[in-house]
Amino acid sequence: MKKVQVGINGFGRFGLHLLKYWLDRAKKSNFIISYINDDFLTINNALKIIINDKSVVFNKYKVGMSKNYLSILEPDGDRYTIEYSNRNKKDATWKGKPEIVLECSGKCTVAKDSREHLSGNTRLVVISATSWDSEKTLIYGFNQNEYKKNMKVISYGSCTVNAYIPLANYLNKRYGVIESDVNVIHNIQKYKLNDFNTLNRKFCTLEKSALNLLNFLDENNFLVNYTVIPYSGVSMLDFRFKLKSKVNKEEFIEDLSETFINGGLKGLYDFSEFDVGPEVYNCSTYSAVLIKENVKVLKNNIYMQGYFDNENSVNRYYDLVNHICSKKN
């Protein structure tokens, strides 16, 4: 099967994680990253970040550059060559060449701005953030099969949206959800730490996205508390679901464990037996990892605590793009 050629616009934290996540799966992937553009980072800067970043480790790959190309050598000798451009997205040297542009800059969440990528061979833009006016928000593990080949600009949601939506949807189908709320303690990027020294309550895209995506939730039965803290590690989130009837805790955990391993949520979530803190989940492949010992049942309410590496939420973005590319062939 011929792999779909894609280009990344924006090589910040998300783009960096995405490149590494794709490289680790490149041989099985339905797409190949052939192009990168960043309007701020030169190719020299990008190479330094790839080689020196402490949290996204490329040490199994040999990475170099030649003129405007990054060269990445696999341990088995396979080589990937990526054309690199350091321009405004409208003037990227490779504009119009890839079939799909992965809009990862965080600057183009409005569909009109992302449509500037559409020219030549480029037929689709996938935004790595919430876009309120994209044609569709597709969440892998929830509604990825609603992708249509005539779509031009779609959104993958956000790290919190991907951590909540598939789980909530499963619980509603399995038990019936009457109401729900989520408490999120979210990090900030390391380079912003010097500018923030206190807690900050903010709007969370999940507040609106969940209501748009899940028909059993509305403004009267769903609430999100979202707090950003001056810390750059793995983030945490707590769920509460009021179900139509009380469940047995052990049976509930067994049911979720089964669907995490063999069911519809396979690969999306995981359970850890005990709470050992957030840092062991750095670069986790899961949308969220829940803690078994912290699951509580109070009347009809289920309380669950967990962690999610929001920086590495590229896992579900990758899955979505890979799924779309399987449909384009």
Per-residue exposure over 53-62, b if at least 16 CB sit within 10 Å of its own CB, e if not: eeebebeebe
Q: What is the pLDDT of residues 203-234, one digit of tens each?
A: 999 999 999 999 999 999 999 999 999 999 99
pTM for the complete prediction?
0.95
Q: Is the pLDDT of residue 323 over 70?
A: yes
User: Percentage of the chain with pLDDT > 90?
Assistant: 92
| pLDDT band for position 191 (cuts 50, 70, 90) | confident
Q: Which of 99, 107, 87, 83 minimizes the C-alpha distance to 14? A: 107
* Residue 146 pLDDT: 97
Q: What is the pLDDT of residues 86-129, one digit of tens each?
A: 999 999 999 999 999 999 999 999 999 999 999 999 999 999 99
| pLDDT band for position 309 (cuts 50, 70, 90) | very high
Q: What is the pLDDT of residues 16-74, one digit of tens each?
A: 999 999 999 999 999 999 999 999 999 999 999 999 998 888 999 999 999 999 999 99
Q: Torsions phi, psi of 83, nearest 5? A: -75, 125
Q: How far apart are CA 5 and CA 321, in angstroms?
A: 11
Q: Domains in the chain, please, with CATH?
A: 4-157+314-328 (3.40.50.720), 159-310 (3.30.360.10)
